[in-house]
Amino acid sequence: MIGLVAVLRIKPGMEEKVKEAAVKMAENVRKKEKECLLYDPFIAQDKPSELYILEKYTSAEALDEHRKLPHYLEFREAIQDAVTGPPEVTLLDFLG
């Protein structure tokens, strides 16, 4: 099992666009990716310009596949002008 936390920094005035895209993405992941055990977006309470996505997959291969799927690519394209850069990703090993 593998987990990750992705942090996206949102440009001023683009918060709603990113929130809507993140919710749509989460819905697609939950419906279409059986190997994804958790995909939950959060906005930081003290920094509404930071989006955190908590993810958990059955394997590293499932995570690799996630990054190739159409809804993932559509999400990245939808927010590319609304974030300051690529997500900061921290990979996590599950301890049980």
φ, ψ at 28 (rounded to 5°): -65, -45
Please tell me the pTM assigned to this model: 0.94
Residue spans per domain, the chain: 2-93
Residue 69: pLDDT band by 50, 70, 90 thresholds?
A: very high
CATH 3.40.50.1000 fits 2-93, yes or no: no
Catalogue the long-range contacts made by 54-57 (C-beta closer than 8 Å, 24 or more residues apart): 54/3, 54/4, 54/5, 55/3, 55/4, 55/5, 55/6, 56/1, 56/2, 56/3, 56/94, 57/1, 57/2, 57/3
Residue 96: pLDDT band by 50, 70, 90 thresholds?
A: confident
